[in-house]
């Protein structure tokens, strides 16, 4: 009877998996319908998002089937009999070894459960934002930029996005300054003008203004790590480049940093809901008009 119950549980799990796949396909179809066929950039992003969601679902299903197999009723009894027989043949060392294997398996299952929960949260955030805040923000930005004959130039979300967006804009002007150079110059500029920047930085735990040591550490991270850049770093860069920097956003007027300079502004796009996981900067490029199909 125990084996039959185990088989029944596996059948239930397989039915659940089929339903989840069907539900995901319905969501994917809805997402596809929301993106115009002639919008190649959004279609490409959609294809990547869909592949990621399908892959994550397949991995989760494989893990659940593996966990189900390991939890089949009857196995503990077989193992206990086997342990007893082995004990008679080989002494007390084998039961100790079996206990260690069991603990290792528990650790693996716990790790898998944590990773599954994290992946599920990411997948849910992706689906929610494709149909919600992220999608709306992208539409608003596309409209704002199209009025200037511009479109978003996608920048990787790796902690360097603000600097990469500036780097891209400079290359469009035949200025091949590198990401590394931009970071180092920004850190040096801020370190040499502590009074202009330190008062705007606070410790997230205490709420107090940064100490000198904390500020030095902050500048070191600006130069040497993928630390996210924001308005303070944009202020420093506008002075370094002696060029205004325009920040376009979906729900507010553009912000101009470094208005005292007369050059044509560098333009970047600030997104609050990019990837469903946090804030992000993109660059811009000339709008490519695709003929209607």
Half-sphere exposure of 207 (CA within 13 A, CB side): 0
Token pair, residue 9, equals 């549980």
Q: What is the 3-state secondary structure (H, E, C) of 275-288?
A: HHCCCEEEEEEECC
Q: DSSP characters for 265-278? A: PEEEEEESSGGGTS
What is the side-by-side order of every strand in the sheet holding 252-257? Answer: 150-153, 280-286, 266-271, 245-249, 252-257
Residue-wise DSSP of 103-131? HHHHHHHHHHHHHHHHHHHHHHHHHHHHH
Q: Say which of 158, 174, 195, 213 is annotated catalytic.
A: 158
Instruction: Evaluate whether 250 touches 144 at the Cβ level (below 8 Å).
Output: yes
Taking a C-beta distance cutoff of 8 angstroms, is the pair 158, 226 a contact?
Answer: yes
Nearest CA-CA partner of 120 in 59, 71, 65, 68: 59
Comparing CA positions, the residue from 274, 200, 288 lying closest to residue 236 is 200
Active site annotation includes 184? no
Q: 118-156 burial, b for 16+ CB within 10 Å, e for fewer?
A: ebeebbebbbebbeeebbebbeebbeebeeeebbbbebe
Among the listed residues 160, 168, 273, 280, the single catalytic one is: 280
- Catalytic site residue 161? yes
Give CA–CA dist 30/214, Å, rounded: 48
**Residue among 49, 119, 161, 219 flagged as catalytic:** 161
Asked if 174 is an active-site residue, the reply is no
Residues annotated catalytic, as ranges: 158, 161, 280
């Amino acid at each position: 009877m125990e084996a039959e119950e185990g088989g029944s549980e596996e059948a239930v799990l397989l039915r659940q998996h089929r339903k989840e796949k069907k539900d995901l396909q319905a969501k994917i179809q809805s997402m596809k319908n929301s993106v115009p066929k002639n919008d190649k950039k959004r279609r490409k992003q959609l294809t990547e998002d869909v592949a990621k969601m399908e892959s994550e679902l397949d991995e989760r299903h494989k893990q659940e089937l593996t966990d189900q197999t390991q939890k089949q009723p009857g196995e503990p009894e077989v193992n206990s009999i086997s342990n007893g027989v082995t004990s008679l043949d080989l002494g007390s060392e084998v039961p100790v070894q079996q206990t260690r294997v069991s603990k290792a398996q528990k650790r693996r299952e716990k790790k898998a459960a944590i990773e599954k929960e994290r992946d599920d949260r990411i997948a849910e955030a992706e689906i929610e934002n494709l149909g919600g805040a992220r999608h709306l923000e992208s539409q608003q930005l596309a409209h704002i930029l199209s009025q200037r004959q511009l479109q978003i130039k996608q920048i990787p979300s790796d902690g360097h996005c603000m600097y990469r967006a500036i780097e891209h804009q400079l290359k469009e002007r035949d200025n091949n300054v590198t990401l590394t150079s931009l970071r180092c110059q920004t850190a040096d500029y801020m370190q040499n003008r502590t009074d202009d920047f330190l008062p705007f930085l606070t410790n997230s735990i205490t709420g107090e203004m940064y100490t000198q040591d904390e500020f030095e550490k902050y500048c070191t991270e600006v130069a040497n790590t993928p630390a996210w850049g924001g308005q303070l770093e944009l202020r420093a860069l506008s002075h370094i480049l002696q060029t205004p920097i325009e920040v376009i956003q979906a729900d507010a007027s553009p912000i101009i940093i470094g208005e005292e300079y007369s050059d044509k502004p560098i333009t970047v796009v600030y997104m609050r809901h990019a990837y469903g996981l946090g804030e992000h900067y993109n660059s811009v490029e000339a709008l490519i008009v695709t003929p209607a199909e």
